[in-house]
C-alpha cells in the first residue's frame, strides 16, 4: 500500500511531556525540563506557541525534539 502524505497547515494541538502518574502509557520526559529541573516547557500549547526545539510527530505518537543533548 502506498499512502499519500500531505502537509496540512493550521493544526491546533496541545502536546507536553510533563510527568503524569495518571496515564495508562509510558511517556518520556522533556529533555529541556530535565536539564532545567522544571515542569513548565511544553512542545505545543493550543492557541499559543510551539517550542523552538519541537520538530514534529512521528506516527503513531513519538515527539521529535531537537533540544541540545537529546538523543
Residue-wise pLDDT for 4-45, tens only, equals 878 888 888 899 999 888 888 889 999 999 999 999 999 999
Q: Which segments of 1-71 are extended strands (E)?
A: 44-45, 49-50, 54-58, 62-65
Domain limits for position 58? 12-71
Instruction: Give the three cell numbers for residue 54.
Output: 519541537
- Cα 46 to chain centroid, rounded: 12
Domain presence at residue 42? yes
How much is the pLDDT for 34? 95
Quote the number of domains for the chain. Answer: 1
Domain presence at residue 1? no
How much is the pLDDT for 4? 87
Q: Which residues contact 51 (CB under 8 A, 6 or more apart)?
A: 32, 41, 42, 43, 44, 65
How much is the pLDDT for 21? 87
Q: Is the pLDDT confidence value at 65 over 70?
A: yes
How much is the pLDDT for 15? 93
Domain presence at residue 43? yes
- Residue 71: pLDDT band with limits 50, 70, 90: low
Amino acid at each position: 500500500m502506498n499512502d499519500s502524505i500531505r502537509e496540512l497547515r493550521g493544526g491546533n494541538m496541545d502536546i507536553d511531556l510533563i510527568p503524569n502518574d495518571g496515564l495508562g502509557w509510558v511517556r518520556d520526559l522533556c529533555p529541556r525540563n530535565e536539564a532545567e529541573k522544571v515542569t513548565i516547557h511544553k512542545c505545543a500549547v493550543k492557541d499559543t506557541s510551539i517550542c523552538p526545539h519541537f520538530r514534529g510527530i512521528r506516527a503513531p505518537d513519538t515527539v521529535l525534539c531537537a533540544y541540545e543533548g537529546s538523543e
